[in-house]
Structures are given as structure tokens and as C-alpha cells.
């Protein structure tokens, strides 16, 4: 394997293969998993809506790719759901077999100056995950716009117990930028 191939395999291994479309079906999730080419590398996770977690698990197992995690999203994509709904969604997703929960923070609250709500969403989601799932927190950096808000969101995610901090949902006008 050349260095270029090793670098490419490492890059793939650090990414989530994602389908978060309103048109997703069991068949499209199967096709997503079928698109994995292990000779090019395997993704860290397959990220799908909660309704498709079990489909992704079954499809991965059928391909003997059980080491690939299944992630799902909560409070997605707008960050506007009530905390009780987010926690219920988290618990249901874990029961369906999700290994990772990608929480969108209530970033509009942070922009309005309400850091405590953001911290509550992260810390309560972390409690719901317990030791059964990792918590990845999406700060929606393109909507936060300023370095100060991006820094504050990141610190709140870490303080609340995030295992990872992610930049964006990919569903807004400006996503991750340098």
C-alpha cells in the first residue's frame, strides 16, 4: 500500500458515512452501507436518522462490518426541540442500537445569550447516553458566526461531557469554514 493509499484509508476511517435525507428508506440505507469499500478503508460510523439505526446495524452485520459504529442525530437539524423530546429521542435511539448520538445544541439560544440552556442540553444528553453511547455535539459553527460564540459553544460542549465536538449539521447556509 502506498503512502497515498494509507493516508486515504486513514481519512476514511476518521469520517462518518452519512445519509440524513427526508427521503431515506430502508433500501437507501442498505445502499449506503453497500457503498462501503473496505479496500479503500471503512468509516468510523454510519450516521442515519433514528428510525434507520436497526437497518444500518443489520446491513453492517451482513457485511461483517460490525466494527463500524452507527450514529444518529438528536435535536436535528434546527436545535429547537424541547429538552424532554431530545432526551426521549436519545433513549429510543440507544434502545435501537445507536453507538453514538450527535446532538445539535440549541444554538439560537446561545446566540441570544442563554448559555445555560446549551449546557443543560449537553449534560442531560450525556447522562442519557451513560456508558451505552458516545455523545458528539454539533455546535453549528456557521450559524454562530463569531470566534467568541464558536469558542463558547465548544467550551460548553466539553463542560457538559461531549466526547467529540462537531462543526455543523450540513443543513444550513454556511457550514464548516476555516
pLDDT at 9 over 80: yes
Neighbours of 31 (CB within 10 A): 12
CA distance 36 to 31: 9
pLDDT at 178 over 80: no
pLDDT at 150 over 90: yes
The pLDDT value recorded for residue 39 is 87
CA distance 89 to 69: 18
- The SS3 of residue 121 is helix
What tens digit of pLDDT does each residue of 33-76 get? Answer: 999 999 889 999 999 999 999 999 999 999 999 999 999 999 99
Bigger pLDDT: 8 vs 78: 78
Residue with cell 494509507: 6
Give the pLDDT mean for 97-121: 98
pLDDT at 139 over 90: yes
The pLDDT value recorded for residue 100 is 98
Domains of the chain with CATH codes = 3-166 (3.20.20.70)
26-31 LR contacts (CB < 8 Å, sep 24+): 26/52, 26/55, 29/55, 29/56, 29/59, 30/55, 30/59
The pLDDT value recorded for residue 177 is 79
Whole-prediction pTM value?
Answer: 0.94
Neighbours of 37 (CB within 10 A): 9
Neighbours of 104 (CB within 10 A): 24
Amino acid at each position: 500500500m502506498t503512502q497515498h493509499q494509507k493516508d486515504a484509508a486513514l481519512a476514511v476511517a476518521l469520517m462518518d458515512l452519512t445519509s440524513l435525507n427526508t427521503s431515506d428508506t430502508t433500501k437507501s440505507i442498505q445502499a449506503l452501507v453497500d457503498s462501503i469499500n473496505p479496500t479503500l478503508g471503512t468509516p468510523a460510523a454510519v450516521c442515519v436518522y433514528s428510525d434507520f439505526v436497526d437497518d444500518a446495524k443489520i446491513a453492517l452485520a451482513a457485511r461483517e462490518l460490525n466494527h463500524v459504529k452507527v450514529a444518529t442525530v438528536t435535536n436535528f437539524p434546527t436545535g429547537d426541540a424541547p429538552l424532554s423530546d431530545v432526551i426521549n429521542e436519545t433513549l429510543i435511539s440507544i434502545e435501537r442500537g445507536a453507538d453514538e448520538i450527535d446532538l445539535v445544541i440549541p444554538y439560537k439560544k446561545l446566540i441570544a445569550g442563554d448559555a445555560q440552556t446549551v449546557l443543560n442540553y449537553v449534560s442531560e444528553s450525556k447522562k442519557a447516553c451513560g456508558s451505552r453511547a458516545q455523545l458528539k455535539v454539533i455546535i453549528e459553527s456557521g450559524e454562530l458566526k463569531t470566534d467568541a460564540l464558536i469558542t463558547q459553544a465548544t467550551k460548553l460542549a466539553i463542560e457538559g461531557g461531549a466526547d467529540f465536538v462537531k462543526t455543523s449539521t450540513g443543513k444550513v447556509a454556511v457550514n464548516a469554514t476555516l
